Amino acid sequence: MGEIKNNSKRVGLLDELRGFAIICMVVYHAMYDLKYIFGVDVPIFFESWFYVIRDIFAGLFIFISGTVCRFSRNNVKRGAQCFFLGMIITFVTPFFSSLPIQFGILHFLGISMMLFGLTEKILDYIPALVGIIVFALLFAITWNIPMGFIGIKGLFEIHLTAKAYEVGVLFPFGLHNASFVSSDYFPLFPWFFLFLAGSCFGIWAKEGSLPKFFYPTHIKWIAAVGRNTIWVYILHQPVVYLIFSLIFR
């Protein structure tokens, strides 16, 4: 998340996809604020299909965030900065909303970047295609950890002990009880595996092995948004909140 500061060749399409994904995230948060803070219900949003769309775009953003880690010289530093910003949001949010953000996208990306930075030399031994397949499979298998089991529903299920969900401090891993609340929540399981799949895809991107149309920039303003997603994420909620406050209050 944020601009990668080195001399490696950028991949224009990835900037554009990341920009598009963060714009979709802004729209989602705006609808969320309307419904849960300002009491304005928009019927088309928050139906079952809407949550599927939300997860698709969030997943795209996380995958690309893993990809661009291959272009950074210091993922540990970037991750620490990202996590610190997430903690600031955790501290500030209760002043504006009754729904806190305990482990949102910034917390998740910060931890993921640091973990990747610390294990990058080991991950380099994994061939790109093998890594994408293995981590995508692990993502699918761990998708239901917040629901209480490991596996793919309908194929196999390994149910986890209920005590793990009552510990209280394991929510960053997707283990939490019914009383847990976080208006923005991206636990390490399953999302970290999608991040790692993206990092394997990043091997091809950095080597220049992707199709040629990936590399040039096609829509400059969306690419610019994609290169500065961290600032868009930090600033969009205060701006949206201010606009809605002026309109509805």
39-48 pLDDT, tens digit per residue, is: 888 777 767 7
170 three-state secondary structure? coil
What's the CA gap between 160 and 225, in Å, rounded? 41
CA-nearest of 209, 231, 248 to 9 is 209
Provide the CB-side half-sphere exposure for 65 (13 A, CA). Answer: 32
Bigger pLDDT: 35 vs 126:
126
Cβ atoms of 117 and 79 closer than 8 Å: yes
Most confident of 29-38, 157-166, 186-195, 234-243: 186-195
Confidence of residue 192 (pLDDT cuts 50, 70, 90): very high
Question: How many angstroms separate the Cα of 240 from the Cα of each of 27, 173, 202?
Answer: 10, 30, 33
Confidence of residue 202 (pLDDT cuts 50, 70, 90): very high
The percent of the chain in helix, strand and coil, each rounded to the nearest 5, is: 65, 5, 30
- Quick one: average pLDDT of 58-77? 94
**Residue 7 predicted with pLDDT over 80:** no
Question: How high is the mean pLDDT of the chain?
Answer: 89
- Quick one: average pLDDT of 3-28? 79
Question: How many angstroms separate the Cα of 93 from the Cα of each of 22, 37, 183, 241?
Answer: 20, 12, 10, 12
- The residues near 40 (Cβ < 8 Å, ≥ 6 apart) are 34, 248
Strand partners, 152: 156
**Paired tokens of 74:** 């210091």
Is this prediction's pTM over 0.85? yes
What's the CA gap between 25 and 30, in Å, rounded? 9
What's the CA gap between 235 and 178, in Å, rounded? 31
pLDDT at 9: 67
What's the CA gap between 105 and 85, in Å, rounded? 11
114-152 pLDDT, tens digit per residue, is: 999 999 999 999 999 999 999 999 999 999 998 889 998
pLDDT at 1: 55
Most confident of 12-26, 152-166, 187-201: 187-201
Bigger pLDDT: 69 vs 49:
69
pLDDT at 249: 67
Sign of the CA dihedral 141, 69, 52, 179? positive
DSSP 105-150: HHHHHHHHHHHHHHHHHHHTTS-HHHHHHHHHHHHHHHTTGGGTEE
**Structural element, H or E, at residue 83:** helix 75-92
pLDDT at 84: 95
- Quick one: average pLDDT of 101-125? 95
81-91 pLDDT, tens digit per residue, is: 999 999 998 99
In degrees, to the nearest 5, what angle opens at C-alpha 66 toward C-alphas 117 and 173? 80
What's the CA gap between 8 and 49, in Å, rounded? 39
